[in-house]
A and B are shown apart, each in its own frame.
Chain A
Amino acid sequence: MYDLIVIGAGPGGYEAAAHAGRLGMKTLLAEKEFIGGTCLNVGCIPTKTFLKSARLFSECRSAAAYGVEIAGAKWNQAAVVQRKNKVVSTLTRGVEALLKKNRVEVVRAAARLQSAGLVQVGDRRLEARNILIATGARPAVPPIPGIDSPSVLDSTAVLNLTEVPARVAVIGGGYIGLELAGFFFAAGAAVTVLEMLPRIASGSDADISSRLQQAFKKSGVTLKTSCKVTRIEGNRISCLDDQGAAFETEAECIVNATGRVPVVQDLGLEELGIDLDRKGIKVDERGRTSLPGVWACGDVTGRRQLAHAATREGLVAVNEMAGRRDRIRYEAIPSVIYTHPEVACVGWTEEELKAQGKEYKKALVPMAVAGRFLVENEGGSGVVKVLAGARYGEILGVHMLGDLSSEFIVAAAQMMEMEMRIADVEKVVFPHPTVSEALKLALLEIA
């Protein structure tokens, strides 16, 4: 009898398993494919290694602006993939070590629920007091005729390309699509992004997404918003614009980045009558599903679809199992888009606050107020936007566009997590010179 069986070894599942082990729970982790899940193997980490190479390459080309002349920089996609694999395997070993250290039994097999306390793992039937479903998500396949053509690749397939295509069309202007578009563009491809909504990165604050859009356009990426892909034939993509006018575009590689759907098949969920909908398994703020003893976290619940959110959700569920009251809150969970310039946000957007009828104050400060930003970004631009409650000055949202912002958004998240008000933040000292000083100035501008 296990205290906990975790299904899926992504950042939701493996962190939860390790935490449970740390708390002394007898824990088993079942993974059918790869330790580390999407995040480590085909998600966060591989894309970021790709983007690092891309960044380096474009920096080589613009190095002259910094007084460094580099001639003959060349892109080697095979080496880029190789490095990615090396980073991934290093990190996977790290995860394995973490699980071992916390005495988690890892089984490399698919798992399926038999009943509330019973799990089929490979050819074994195991009993467990608690079951945590962390089976993640996979790329969505939208009902576009021709989406199954060989020229269409999803994000997973893209990560194994050994050559950079001449022309790339990315369907979907969300963060995955934008990161991949930026990657291919920097690696030398001609890139078109096709987004159905009127703006890219549509979940972001409009002040940020509109500037990101400008930056993309300026760089030379073709952006088509309010554009509906109607058909794919070989390399040809047929679209409708917002006026209903048809147009076509061509690309050797078509990236399907239209979102991700929860992995809920072959788990026995329907048989057990566990509540789920199109977005995923339904859970409460403590991670409980509709069936007592069965919990879920991460992408399979369709809430935030971020690795660190999956981790936090998993920890909440384990804490609850162990009798430590906990609950997930999303107000202070940051998110990052690793484009160039990058986007880092936490909290409510201005549009959301307006919709809530919340009274707020705001500050919008150019990143260039921080000396370090100018030092690091020749010709670059960026902004910091801070939203705070009108009455108490509590920080409601921080939205940043500009390189390095991903590294200090956590400061804003911390402030929000602790429910600091602008007045409380004044005592926090920001190191000089850092880009983070732009955040400080934006906060002070509200005060």
Chain B
Amino acid sequence: MAIPIEMPKLGNTVEECLLAKWRKQVGEPVSEGEIIAEIETDKAVFELKAPASGTLLATFFQSGDAVPVFANVCVLGHPGEPFELFRPQAGDPPPGPAPSSDSRTTAEPPPPQAAAAPAAAAASPDRPSLSPRARRFARERHFYPEAITGSGAGGRILESDLLERYHRSPRPSPLAKALLDDGFQIREEPSEAAGLIRSSDLRPPAAKISTMRERIARRMRESLSSTAQYTMNASASAVGLLALRSRIKAGHLAQSWPDININEMVLFCAVRALEQVPELNVEFLDGRIYRTEEIHIGFACDTPRGLVVPVVRNCRRLEIAELARKIKTLARQASEGSIAREDLGGGTFTVTNLGVFGIESFTPILNPPQVAILGVNAIGLKPVRGKDGGVEFVEHIGLSLTCDHQVIDGAPGARFLKTVREKIEAIESLAPFPR
């Protein structure tokens, strides 16, 4: 009875091995314990031995092929015995090119991007890939020659191909080697053709973005691809804001008041405007509009780790002092990194302020499923027509409102922005300021 011989699993993490060389040909007699083929993993060369005596009836792979572990590589038996049933099926893990040296599938550090590094070579379908041992050799020595012809089947690059080239190529200096071990990469074009690869030929490793950055990136892309956002700019007289601010600074207000800043005042006005124009205080999810009775306002915080948007809950009818206090607490927690998860979600509207950097207008990006976000800009002088018909310069604060046109048309958006302006201009009469 014919017996299949399968690719052994040589190590826990090995998913496939390279069939380096057939030592027996189809039709040749083989005795038990004789070596049929040589197998390479990235760690060593192994010999595939015959488990019994017989004739090599069929081989299913060629030398140079990467063979999944446990796949049948050949069949032993008596001449004439059927063997087709042992042929690996299409559904089996496909033979063929080894996984590319793509770091995601092999958990290896990505190889340095030397000129036409085999990373690229292996990844592109028309370039031969590296055998597992060759890959390991290359990785350990940071050695990635360009334009090398492999002597394995299909041009696959074997360790011996690299070895030969290695002994004729520039090597990293001791310092360069230490830097390469630390993830530095060889620049496209080494500065000298021969001799040493030196530290000046290397560039520092590309910085991997943090999980937080990754999350922000994804959310921003999603926002832009899932909404129809547009931004409108306007400005409001900041005379009231500034007057209030200077009274607070001068300590003219009651001791119990926190040090309310311009941003907090604008946020307060936005809440008041949302109370009046509730169309913007909605969520738009899967083609449905969800109205919420409460107003939960997110505010963008620049923290050492990146953008964080804490949410102040239940802002409706909050007094300005109370609102400011809540904002300050959340902002502190956000920058310390101690903010609770539940304080980071569930907003119905967002305010973001770049005015402190002197920004005059920008395009805030929506925080879906929210449908609007208000950007606060710098305060600057603006010429306005005075009562007597002359031109006066009045301090104005810039406002940039982004809305999702899927839900909010231009007019209601503009109406909201106008309301915010009115609230800002009337700030001093809006709340009972203790004296």
Contacts and interface: CB of A to CB of B under 8 A. Distances in A.
A258 to B, nearest CB: 34
Nearest to B197: A419
B212 interface: no
B178 A392 contact: yes
Contacts of B198: 419
B193 to A, nearest CB: 4
B192 A419 contact: no
Contacts of A394: 174-175, 199
B320 interface: no
Contacts, number: 34
B174 to A, nearest CB: 5
Given A394-B199, A419-B198, A419-B199, A424 B192 contact: no
A421 B191 contact: no
A421 B178 contact: yes
Contact of B174 (A326, A327, A424): A424
Q: Which of B176, B192, B196 lies at the interface centre, i.e. has the most chain A CB atoms within 10 A of its CB? A: B192
B424 interface: no
A420 B178 CA distance: 10
Contacts of B114: none
Nearest to A424: B174
B169 to A, nearest CB: 14
A324 interface: yes
Contact of A421 (B174, B192, B193, B196): B174
Contact of B173 (A324, A329, A420): A420
Nearest to A323: B193
A325 interface: yes
A424 B174 CA distance: 7
Contacts of A420: 173-175
Interface residues of A, number: 13
Contacts of A419: 173-176, 196, 198-199
A65 interface: no
Interface in A97-134: none
Interface residues of B, number: 14
Interface in B282-310: none
A418 interface: yes
Contact of B192 (A326, A418, A423): A326
Given A392-B179, A421-B178, A325 B196 contact: no
Interface string B183-225: 0000000011110101110000000000000000000000000
B179 to A, nearest CB: 7
A418 B173 contact: yes
B175 A327 contact: no
Nearest to B198: A419
Interface in A314-336: 324-327, 329
A325 B200 CA distance: 15
Contacts of A326: 192-193
A421 B176 CA distance: 10
A330 to B, nearest CB: 12
Nearest to B179: A392
B191 A327 contact: yes
Contacts of A418: 173-174, 196
Q: Which 7 A-B pairs have the closest CB atoms?
A: A419-B173, A419-B175, A325-B193, A394-B175, A424-B174, A392-B178, A420-B174
Interface of A: 324-327, 329, 392, 394, 418-421, 423-424
24 contacts: A324-B193, A325-B192, A325-B193, A326-B193, A327-B191, A329-B200, A392-B175, A392-B179, A394-B174, A394-B175, A394-B199, A418-B174, A419-B173, A419-B174, A419-B176, A419-B198, A419-B199, A420-B173, A420-B174, A420-B175, A421-B174, A421-B175, A423-B174, A424-B174
Given A419-B198, A421-B174, 18 more contacts: A324-B194, A325-B191, A326-B192, A329-B200, A392-B178, A392-B179, A394-B175, A418-B173, A418-B174, A418-B196, A419-B173, A419-B174, A419-B175, A419-B199, A420-B173, A420-B174, A420-B175, A421-B175
Interface of B: 173-176, 178-179, 191-194, 196, 198-200
